[in-house]
Structure 1
Amino acid sequence: MKLWDKIRKTGTSEEAYRPEQATFAVRPDTVYAPVSGVLVSVEEINDEVVSSKLLGEGYGILPVGDAIYAPADGRVVMTTVTNHAIGLLTTTGAEVIIHIGLGTVAMNGKGFTSYVNQGDEVRAGTPLIGFDSATIKDAGFEDVVTVVVSNAPQVGHIEYAAVSNTLIGDRPLVKIGDPLLVIR
Structure 2
Amino acid sequence: LIIQKQIHPEIMSVVDGTVCGDGAGPRTMIPRIKNYILAGYDQVAVDTVVARMLGFEPLKLPAIKLAHDEGLGCGDFDQIEIIGEDVSNTNWNFSVKRSLVIWGDQMVRKGRLKFLEPLMHNKIFMTLPILGSLVFHDMFWYPTTGKKRIKKFLKTGWGKVFQNYPEI
Query: Which band: TM-score by shorter chain?
Result: under 0.3
Higher helix residue share = 2
TM-score in terms of structure 2 length: 0.23
Higher strand residue share = 1
TM-score in terms of structure 1 length: 0.22
